[in-house]
Amino acid sequence: MGLQSSLLIRSAICVFILVISTSGFSQVKKEEIISFSGTIKNISKDLKSIVITNDVNILIVPNTKITNEKGNVLKAGDLKVGLYVVVETVQDAGVFVARKITIKLLRGT
């Protein structure tokens, strides 16, 4: 086997490895954050979902972070009908799943 053949085979192997290793990265999708804000109209009894203004139904999962404006961590039980919230969600199979819920204080009311 000549020097050219050896270099050609090594080059082909390197290209093959690069193609295989980079194709795995192309399959990772970044989740798009969709934000909603409004007043809580309804809370499920099991505290696993809320409905806010414009009848947007949002699922609350165990890793949903719930905070107030100051960043203090709260629990799902702290959510109350009538509170104004800003919710960061991702869409999963057509369902809005809350990543973060921030309770806002309405000023001037």
Query: What pLDDT, in 10s, does the model give residues 2-41?
Result: 767 776 777 777 666 666 655 455 444 667 999 999 999 9
pLDDT at 26: 45
Q: What whole-number distance in Å separates Cα of residue 60 and Cα of residue 56? A: 13
Q: Tens digits of per-residue pLDDT, 34-84?
A: 999 999 999 999 999 999 998 999 999 999 999 999 999 999 999 999 999
pLDDT at 24: 52
24 and 48 part of one domain: no
First to last CA, the chain: 85
Q: Let me know if residue 109 belongs to a domain.
A: no
Range of the domain at 56: 34-104
26 and 59 part of one domain: no
What are the backbone angles phi and psi of residue 75, rounded to the nearest 5°? -115, 165
20 and 39 part of one domain: no
Higher pLDDT, 6 or 109: 6
83 sits in the region (left: phi over 0; alpha: psi -120 to 50; else beta) called beta
pLDDT at 79: 96
Q: What is the CATH number of the domain that holds 95?
A: 2.40.50.320
